[in-house]
């Protein structure tokens, strides 16, 4: 299947934003070693796509809430079919079908952005100033904007260069290898950190899943994806890493707003299997979510607060006199105080 429609769409959005910033007076030349019109064009490419995908993001949140509401039923099925994995999977799929819950909906926004990511990757890789004029005009690029983008830099590193660029590629771009590697390495580390934080933020707010399949997906999203970026990030053009970091920051802000405005239902589980209270164990203060968004929210969760002291409950019925019993004089039986001798 040809991805040309995606290449044209990505190019069109980039060119429109670049033209806008150029029209309002953002300098197209380098300021502090950076062509800000093109950097802002990449930034607002993210904003454009996130606005388009916002309805999908809302569906993702609703699906996650639906999955949370099903956790008691999922746990009951796990207890009922313990040791019979095949039957358990069938029963759970039927439960999801009846309740109209989709376990994969939580990953849908990321899956929808994968074609955009590869489209931007291809477009930036195509920004070679040495190719023919005919090839420069592919995907609707005017010659002047192509030539401008082909030499666009971020802090003296071309946005089409990458950490793993060969010496010949760097020479064609007129780039310094050390500058490119240092900037690319910093951006890749920021990309890994923000990817981890976006997943951690959601898990801290909604809790760890009881369903083993969901728990595996959560762990993969939290640890697996950031780890793979340590190696794959060396192959990404700097412009793509800028897009990824910007997208993560936008996601952090969007999730924080949604989770504060629509707090998730409180959950008893505090973490993955092994950190949850044992079945039948009462949690002091009632069930709580791993993070209380209504009180503190925050990116890194709330700190553990000491439980307020509870006064002992006095059983007044046990202290009351029994029917028919003689009233007890509390002073009776007490030794009289010694009177002073006169």
The model's pLDDT over 101-137, given as tens digits with 9 standing for 90+, comes to 776 666 666 677 788 888 888 998 888 888 888 889 9
Residue 234: strand pairing partners: none
CA distances (Å), origin 157, targets 16, 70, 125, 237 = 23, 50, 14, 10
Residue 267 CA, distance from chain mean position: 19
| Mean pLDDT to the nearest integer, 46-68 | 79
Q: How confident is the model at residue 266 (pLDDT cuts 50, 70, 90)?
A: low
Q: How confident is the model at residue 35 (pLDDT cuts 50, 70, 90)?
A: very high
Q: Distance (Å, rounded) from C-alpha 152 to C-alpha 28?
A: 9
Domain boundaries, the chain: 4-261
- Range ranked top by mean pLDDT from 201-205, 247-251, 270-274: 247-251
**Tokens 């971020």, residue?**
154
Q: How confident is the model at residue 243 (pLDDT cuts 50, 70, 90)?
A: very high
Inter-axis angle of helices 4-23 and 143-150, nearest 10? 90
CA distances (Å), origin 82, targets 12, 77, 136, 210, 332 = 54, 8, 61, 14, 66
**Tokens 């996650």, residue?**
64
Residue 316 CA, distance from chain mean position: 53
Q: How confident is the model at residue 294 (pLDDT cuts 50, 70, 90)?
A: very low
What is the three-class DSSP state of 144? helix
Q: Distance (Å, rounded) from C-alpha 186 to C-alpha 224?
A: 20
pTM above 0.85, yes or no: no
Per-residue model confidence (pLDDT) at position 322:
57
Q: Give percent of the chain with pLDDT exceeding 70.
A: 72
Strand boundaries in the chain, DSSP class E:
153-154, 157-158
Q: Distance (Å, rounded) from C-alpha 55 to C-alpha 164?
A: 37
Q: Distance (Å, rounded) from C-alpha 4 to C-alpha 140?
A: 11
């Amino acid at each position: 299947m040809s991805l040309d429609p995606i290449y044209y769409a990505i190019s069109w959005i980039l060119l429109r934003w670049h033209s806008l910033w150029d029209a309002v007076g953002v300098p197209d030349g380098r300021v502090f070693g950076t062509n800000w019109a093109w950097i802002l064009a990449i930034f607002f490419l993210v904003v454009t796509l996130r606005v388009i995908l916002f309805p999908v993001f809302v569906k993702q949140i609703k699906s996650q809430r639906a999955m949370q509401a099903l956790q008691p039923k999922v746990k009951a099925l796990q207890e009922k079919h313990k040791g019979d994995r095949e039957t358990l999977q069938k029963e759970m799929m039927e439960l999801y079908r009846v309740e109209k819950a989709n376990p994969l909906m939580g990953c849908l926004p990321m899956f929808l952005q994968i074609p955009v990511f590869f489209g931007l990757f291809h477009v930036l890789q195509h920004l070679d100033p040495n190719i023919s004029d005919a090839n420069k005009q592919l995907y609707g690029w005017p010659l002047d904007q192509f030539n401008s983008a082909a030499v666009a830099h971020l802090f003296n590193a071309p946005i089409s260069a990458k950490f793993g660029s060969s010496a010949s590629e760097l020479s064609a771009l007129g780039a310094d290898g050390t500058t490119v590697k240092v900037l690319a390495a910093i951006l890749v580390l920021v990309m890994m950190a923000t990817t981890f934080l976006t997943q951690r933020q959601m898990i801290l707010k909604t809790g760890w899943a009881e369903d083993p399949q969901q728990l595996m997906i959560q762990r993969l999203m939290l640890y697996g994806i950031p780890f793979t970026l340590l190696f794959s990030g060396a192959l990404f053009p700097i412009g793509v890493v800028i897009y990824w970091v910007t997208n993560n920051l936008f996601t952090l802000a969007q999730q924080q707003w949604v989770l504060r405005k629509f707090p998730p239902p409180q959950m008893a589980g505090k973490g993955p299997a092994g950190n949850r209270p044992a079945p039948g164990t009462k949690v002091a203060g009632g069930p709580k979510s791993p993070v209380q968004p209504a009180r503190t929210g925050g990116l890194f969760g709330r700190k553990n607060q000491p439980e307020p002291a509870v006064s002992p409950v006095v059983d007044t019925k046990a202290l009351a006199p029994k029917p028919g019993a003689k009233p007890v004089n509390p002073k009776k039986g007490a030794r009289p105080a010694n009177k002073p001798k006169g």
